Amino acid sequence: MGGDHLELDVALAPGSAATVLTQAANKVYKGAEARQNTTFHVGEGGFVEYLPHHLIPFARSIYHQETEFYLAGDSVLLVWDAVSAGRVARGERFAFDSLSGRMRIFREGLPEVVDGIELRSGGEPFGGYSYLGTAYILAPRSLEPLAEKLHAALNSMPFVLASASAPSLRLCAVRILARDATALYRALNTFRAVARTCLDLPPAAREVR
């Protein structure tokens, strides 16, 4: 709701593993600025997946989000984040007042990822698509082969425009534009499945829908 401020702080002990999900899409109602701050600290040998459902900004809403990860040298991270153009079924495309977000990922105190969005009401910044997704994998190994596999898998999907790359040796980044929520989660779950296979992790217990 307008004016709400949600804080989430997660710490993983060395050698531990966790998958953190949300129950459903995060809805932002009209009113004063709402904020969400999420922080993860991952110890040596830790593994974390943070896979929240997408954000839906209602008309005349104001929202700001900060997400930060602090990784040890050999920890592994899979994370995605996604936003919709609004309540598109009600014709509320980019009808929010303001939508902004920042994601920062640090390994051993050094920045690996600094990313974000700044959107205002109006226009068509997604090029006619209704959902924008961003995903990252960080691991203590070369992720260039993974980026190539992800790029090939995502490019073959209908109703999706996506790419994957390895900006640095131990980092893989993915961008997704999707026509609808079904296409978005098909792409995100493919990202997760391919990544877990390449990282020698067992298949996920269930997909995120």
What pLDDT score does 183 carry? 98
Question: ∠ at Cα 67 (196, 136), nearest 5°?
Answer: 30
Q: What is the pLDDT of residue 10?
A: 97
Residue 190: pLDDT over 90: yes
Would you say residue 50 has pLDDT above 90?
A: yes
Tens of pLDDT, residue by residue over 28-37, are: 999 999 999 9
At residue 5 the predicted structure's pLDDT band, cuts being 50, 70 and 90, is very high
Mean predicted confidence (pLDDT) in 2-15: 96
Share of the chain above pLDDT 90, in %: 96
As a whole number, mean pLDDT of residues 52-76 equals 97
pLDDT of 103 strictly over 90: yes
Q: Which two tokens stand for residue 94?
A: 């980019």
Measured distance CA(174)–CA(189) in Å, rounded: 12
| Residue 34 one-letter amino acid | A
pLDDT band for 112, please (50, 70, 90 cuts).
very high
Q: Quick count: other Cβ atoms within 10 Å of Cβ 157?
A: 15
Q: DSSP E strands: which ranges in 108-199? A: 110-120, 131-138, 160-168, 171-178
pLDDT computed for residue 205 by the predictor: 86
5: Cα separation from own chain's centroid: 20
Whole-model pTM: value is 0.95
* Predicted confidence (pLDDT) per residue in 137-178, tens digit: 999 999 999 999 999 999 999 999 999 999 999 999 999 999
H or E element, residue 71:
strand 62-71
Angle, vertex CA 79, rays to CA 23 and CA 61, nearest 5: 55
